Amino acid sequence: MAIKAVLFDLGGTLIKTASPPEIVRRILARYGQIKPIEDIALAHEKAERSMAAEDYSLSYYDFWVKWNRIILGALNIRDDNNFLAKALVDEWWDNADVELYPDAGETLRELEKMGLKIGIVTNAFKKDIEEMLKRVNLPAAFDVAVGIDAVGKPKPDPEIFMFAVRALNVKPEETIFVGDSLEKDYFGALNAGLKAILLDREDNVKREDLVKIKNLRDLIDLLKKHFL
């Protein structure tokens, strides 16, 4: 069955940012809280593990404030905890070094020329998506952009992929998902019935059973040879 749509992860796939621990480090340092990046990375992982399924139905601000409080607690920051949790939300994107990957623009333009529908599915909120997109000069208009607040569930939950598929009025098997996370993007998409391509820019995943590319420029050739 021919492919009619290509969906992308956003951060780490189309858009490059500073790492979340680095962004946290920068903001905390502005307020006199100097913490090792390694400790912040562990605190960030704890926040991701600690959020319950129902938390993904919270509002944008409430979700990220709760997330940040977990990080601050793990870093033993007790003073001004509430203030800093909100500052991390308010100042996040101004400290994120948002830029478009060089191979993203030309790839999106080529997909448009091929008549394919294009969309985004990301573990960010709609407001995050809007913030990222307005900070880069994207050459294509997306037919759909789906964040976790659209369904109250993050990747790899199948529902967030299916929400995008339904919005595009295509079938899962007519849709390819491209992302840089093996669990959330690649296997998440496969489990939802989509086809999947792993973007592994650093060639870190050493597996022969995956459909994998090292840059987005390779996506067009792969589509033409195997999926169209």
Mean per-residue pLDDT, 78-101:
95
Residues 12 and 28 in one domain: no
Q: What is the pLDDT of residue 60?
A: 96
Q: List, as own/partner pairs, every contact residues 26-31 make where C-beta atoms lie below 8 angstroms and the sequence separation is at least 24, other chains included.
A: 26/95, 27/84, 27/87, 27/88, 27/91, 27/92, 27/95, 28/75, 28/77, 28/84, 28/88, 30/91, 31/80, 31/84, 31/87
Q: What is the pLDDT of residue 96?
A: 97
Residues 168 and 188 in one domain: yes
212: pLDDT strictly greater than 80: yes
Where is average pLDDT lowest: 86-100, 126-140, 185-199? 126-140
Q: Which domain holds residue 27?
A: 20-95
Of 48, 69, 95, the one marking the end of a domain is 95
Q: Which pTM value belongs to this model?
A: 0.93
138: pLDDT strictly greater than 80: no
Q: Could you read off the pLDDT of 154-204 as tens digits, one per residue?
A: 999 999 999 999 999 999 999 999 999 999 999 999 999 999 999 999 999
For the chain, the domain total comes to: 2
123: pLDDT strictly greater than 80: yes
